[in-house]
């Protein structure tokens, strides 16, 4: 038995011993908790008033629904709702709420305020005067009331509905309005997030797929172990910078505890990483290079994402690199290339990339 085989046999004995202790302990991280989650997602783009048509709300609704579905929400998604359709969607949402712990409402479209109330605008609203809001639009309080009545543990509302709109700012007879939306009177256990400050307007971001606020929100919702407060903060900072400091999202937070869209147990992730790494070592002992690469690569991906390292990874990298170099010296470039790829799956360095390129040119 040559020196190289003795070294591999030694490591194989160690690895199988460790693997025997860790096998069966793998605990996959979960993208969603045991909470029952539901979301109502609405995007209104094609308003009957031609001067009210928007660019991105349907894209916003599609992308938000897809993201929330991946985060464990049962999603009700609707686009271009009339007044009747809007009410029907809210009623359907309200009927389902008692079966859930977390409720989320997202709306992309036009919103107005009148007499201290926020209203969401259906596509068939005409709004000759702002007092028509009471009859032609959907009161935000109606949705919040459904959540409160169902005694949902956590209620989340995100409104990309502060766009500058063509509807009247005043009817000249009663009530006063300003641009944008007004501070909501949301109940305990809830948070309401506006795309911009109270009384201000938001950018529809017509040059891109999503509204500015929604694009930043979508960026942070799936990030593991990021609290709701941090998601809102990061979204606010992103929007503020991208808008040239003209748009500042605001939140009205009455949550009674911390909330995470994705909560992952770091200890379980570390066990998962170690298990994949040990599987890679076992496959090296079997001379099964493709499976070794697959297992090591999974460990490397987790390590890069969560900052995890195996104390013996450098030693294994150097050992396999030495083996690859030996085959290279014997001009067995195909086998050398395979072992170099194993080393790369442990530690993707410039050194191993250069050697892989060199091998490929000789084949």
CATH code matching the domain that covers 37-253, chosen among 3.10.20.30, 3.40.50.1460, 3.20.20.70, 3.40.1190.20: 3.40.50.1460
Which pLDDT score is estimated for 18? 40
- Which residue(s) pair with 119 in the sheet? 112, 139
Could you report how far apart the first and last alpha carbons of the chain are, in Å?
29
CA–CA dist 160, 56 (Å, integer): 10
CA–CA dist 74, 233 (Å, integer): 26
> How many Cα atoms are found within 13 Å in the side-chain-facing hemisphere of 81?
27
Question: What separation in angstroms does the CA of 154 have from each of 99, 243, 248?
Answer: 13, 30, 24
CA–CA dist 103, 87 (Å, integer): 17
Q: Read off the DSSP letter of residue 43.
A: E
Q: Where do you find CATH 3.40.50.1460 in the chain?
A: 37-253
Which residues contact residue 284 at a Cβ distance below 8 angstroms, ignoring those fewer than 6 apart?
8, 11, 12, 292, 316, 320, 342
Which residues contact residue 127 at a Cβ distance below 8 angstroms, ignoring those fewer than 6 apart?
112, 121, 133, 136, 137, 167, 168
Beta strands in 17-150 (DSSP E): 37-43, 73-79, 102-108, 111-114, 117-120, 138-139
Nearest alpha carbon to residue 159 among 49, 48, 251, 263: 251
Q: Between 333-346 and 313-329, two packed helices, what is the crossing angle to 10 degrees? A: 170
Per-residue pLDDT of the chain (363 residues; tens, 9 = 90+): 454 444 444 444 444 444 433 333 333 333 445 789 999 999 999 999 888 899 999 999 999 999 999 999 999 999 999 999 999 999 999 999 999 999 999 999 998 888 888 899 999 988 776 677 777 899 999 999 999 999 999 999 999 986 555 666 544 333 334 456 767 778 789 999 999 877 566 666 677 899 999 999 999 999 888 899 999 999 999 999 998 998 999 999 999 999 999 988 778 888 889 999 999 999 999 999 999 999 999 999 888 877 788 889 999 999 999 999 999 999 999 999 999 999 999 999 999 999 999 999 999
Which pLDDT score is estimated for 14? 42
Q: How many C-beta neighbours within 10 Å does residue 149 have?
A: 12
Which pLDDT score is estimated for 201? 64
The CA-based diameter of the chain, rounded to the nearest angstrom, is: 98
Side by side, which strands form the sheet with 117-120? 111-114, 117-120, 138-139
Q: Got the DSSP string for 229-265?
A: HHHHHHHHHHHHHHTTS----EEEE--SS--BSS---
Which pLDDT score is estimated for 283? 95
> How many Cα atoms are found within 13 Å in the side-chain-facing hemisphere of 85?
15
- Which residue matches tokens 């066990």? 271
Q: Tokens at residue 77, please?
A: 């998604």
Which pLDDT score is estimated for 60? 97
């Amino acid at each position: 038995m040559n020196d190289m085989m003795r070294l591999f046999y030694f490591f194989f004995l160690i690895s199988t011993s460790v693997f025997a202790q860790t096998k069966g302990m793998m605990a996959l991280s979960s993208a969603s908790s045991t909470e029952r989650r539901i979301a109502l997602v609405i995007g209104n783009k094609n308003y009957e008033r031609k001067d009210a048509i928007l660019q991105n709300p349907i894209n916003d609704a599609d992308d938000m629904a897809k993201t929330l579905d991946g985060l464990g929400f049962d999603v009700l998604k609707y686009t271009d709702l009339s007044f009747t359709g809007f009410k029907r969607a809210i009623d359907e949402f309200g009927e389902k709420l008692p079966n859930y712990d977390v409720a989320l409402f997202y709306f992309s479209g036009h919103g107005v305020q009148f007499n201290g109330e926020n209203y969401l605008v259906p596509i068939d609203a005409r709004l000759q005067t702002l007092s028509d809001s009471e009859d032609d639009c959907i009161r935000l309080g109606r949705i919040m009331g459904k959540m409160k009545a169902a005694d949902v543990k956590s209620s989340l509302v995100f409104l990309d509905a502060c766009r500058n709109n063509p509807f009247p700012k005043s009817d000249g007879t009663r009530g006063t309005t300003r641009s944008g939306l007004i501070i909501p009177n949301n109940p305990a256990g809830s948070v309401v997030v506006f795309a911009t400050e109270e009384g201000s307007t938001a950018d529809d971001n017509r040059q891109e797929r999503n509204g500015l606020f929604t694009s930043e929100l979508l960026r942070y919702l799936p990030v593991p172990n990021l609290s709701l407060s941090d998601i809102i903060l990061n979204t606010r900072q992103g929007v503020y910078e991208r808008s040239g400091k003209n748009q500042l999202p605001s939140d009205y937070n009455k949550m009674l505890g911390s909330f995470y869209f994705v909560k992952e147990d770091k200890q379980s992730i570390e066990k998962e990483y170690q298990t994949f790494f040990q599987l890679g070592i076992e496959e090296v002992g079997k001379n099964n290079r493709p499976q070794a690469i697959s297992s090591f690569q999974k460990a490397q991906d987790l390590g890069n994402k969560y900052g995890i390292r195996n104390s013996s990874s450098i030693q294994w990298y150097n050992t396999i690199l030495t083996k690859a170099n030996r085959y290279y010296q014997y001009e067995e470039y195909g086998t050398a290339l395979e072992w170099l790829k194993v080393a790369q799956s442990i530690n993707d360095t410039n050194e191993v990339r250069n050697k892989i390129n060199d091998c490929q040119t000789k084949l």
